[in-house]
Amino acid sequence: MLKGIMHPGHNIDPLIKNPARDTKDVMLGVYRYAYVSRLREFLANDHEKLSCYMGEAAFATMSKAYVAKYPSDQPNARWYSRHLPEFLAATPPFKKSPELAELALLERALNDAFDAPEAAHKTFDDLAAVPPEDIAQAQFAIHPSARCITVVTNVTGLWSSLRCGEQPPSPYRLDEPQEVLIWRQGSSSRFRLLGKEESMTLAKAQEGLPFGVICEMIAMMDDPDTAAIRAATYLRGWIEAELISDIRLA
C-alpha cells in the first residue's frame, strides 16, 4: 500500500475497496495527499526554526523531496525527521546553504536532549563531600542528555534570532569550526558554545578520566600555573548547569 502511495507506477488497485463515490484513482490521490501532508507536518513540528528560516514555500519544496527519499519507516513519528540534517547537507540545492543542515542538526540535538533519559544531577554539596586528598581520583559522569556538535556557520545566532522572533542575520562561515554543547537542564533543552579547552575537558570527563589526569591535560593546553583554576571553573559551570549526574572515585 505504501509503495502505491509513494510511487504512482505501483498498482495497488486490489488493495483499495470500491468507494461509494468517486473512483479508486481519486481515493488513491486522497490517500497520497494525506500521507505526504502528515509527514510534512512531522518535519515542521520537529524543525520549527528551520521552517521559519526557509519560508513556507521553500520548506514545502524541501519536505516533498525528503518525503520522496525517506518514506516513514518508524511507528513513532518522533523519529521521522532524524535524517534531515544529512539530507540537507547532501542534496542540491540545499547543500549550497550549509546553515540549513546545521540548523536542522541543532534542532535535532535539542529534541534529542529533551527526550534523553532522566538522571540525577549532583550539587556543590556532593562535590564538597569528596575528601580533598581524593579529588584527583574523582570521576564525573556527564548527564545522558549532553552531546556536542561541530558547526561551521553562525547557526547558533540564526537559531537565537528565530527563537526571539527577530530577523535572523545573514548566514556566514566561521573562521574555524565551533563546538556547541547541547543538554537538558530541568525540563528545558539548552545549548552554549564551548572553547577548545573546555570541549576537550568535557570529552575526557565523558570518557571517565579522573580529574587529576584531566588537570594535567589542561596544563598542556595553556598556562600550567592556572590549570587547576581553569579546571575548577569548568567543573563549577557544569554543576551549575546540572551536567554532572554522578561523582565517584576511580
In the chain, where the domains are located: 1-96, 116-250
Residues in the chain, pLDDT under 50 = 1-10, 12, 15, 24
Q: Are 36 and 64 in contact (CB under 8 A)?
A: yes
Give the CA radius of gyration of the chain.
24
List Cβ neighbours of 215 (8 Å cut-off, separation of 6 or more).
136, 227, 228, 231
Burial class (CB within 10 angstroms; exposed 0-12, middle 13-18, buried 19+) of 32:
middle
Backbone angles phi, psi at 189, to 5 degrees: -80, 140
50 contact partners, CB below 8 Å, separation of at least 6: 59, 84, 100, 103, 104, 107
CATH 3.90.930.50 fits 116-250, yes or no: yes
Distance CA 184, CA 199 (A): 17
Percentage of the chain modeled with pLDDT above 70? 86
> In terms of C-beta density within 10 A (0-12 exposed, 13-18 middle, 19 or more buried), how is residue 229 classed?
exposed
Judge whether 104 and 50 are in contact, CB under 8 Å: yes
The pLDDT value recorded for residue 121 is 96
The pLDDT of residue 51: 97
pLDDT in the model for residue 38 = 86
As to burial, measured by CB atoms within 10 angstroms (0-12 exposed, 13-18 middle, 19+ buried), residue 209 is: middle
pLDDT at 71: 86
State the pLDDT at residue 109: 98
CA–CA gap between residue 136 and residue 133 (Å, rounded):
7
Backbone angle region of 167, left / alpha / beta, with phi > 0 → left and psi within -120 to 50 → alpha: beta
134 vs 128, 161, 224, 237, 244, CA distance in Å? 11, 45, 21, 21, 18
Q: Which three-class secondary structure state does DSSP give residue 97?
A: coil
User: Ramachandran region of residue 119, left (φ > 0), alpha (ψ -120 to 50) or beta?
Assistant: beta
